[in-house]
Structure 1
């Protein structure tokens, strides 16, 4: 339910759902990570970091957790480090449209419009291929 609410643009409601899921199943790594991600959206960076750290402790290999960690860095003004954090992830997961999109937003924050455009274009192409593959 949290994912649905987040996609509908209701991060507060999504956060409540994830918190409830964590209360019911404290070892559910994805709930911690998704809670952290919506808290980033809400600008609650300290709480987001706590949730993501808990999720990564349960699932150290979570790509979504690492992406959200990079988003926290970018929100704190550490954009160059956030980009550096994402680049090896892009190398390992070159077909992940979300990863390319987030990297594009980081380049845009640095006013590197050429690299931002490249990443946004790559994200669009991957999403388009995925949509056609699902038809």
Structure 2
């Protein structure tokens, strides 16, 4: 048995995640508006729970678009999909992120909550 070592190409990226991100969508005003609309809708949908604010939702939306360049290219290159489908897919991805975060947050005890338990028990 022999081990074969393959030299990887040296790139300007520090991590593999950086190599897979594509920020070029930020140059398309309509795509940026899609991110803004999806973030606004999400922040309004979860306004009563205080789960996510617009700025945080927008940041998540931009990260999703940057890390899923294939989704962006697919929607924008196919006239039957376009910005409408991109908006729908982005909103669905945002909801998934927020629900996952909210689920983990409900399992988490805050520092103040832990102090209250200790004080009541003492």
TM-score, length of structure 1 as denominator length: 0.29
Larger RCO, structures 1/2 (Cα 8 Å, 6+ apart): 2
Larger radius of gyration: 2
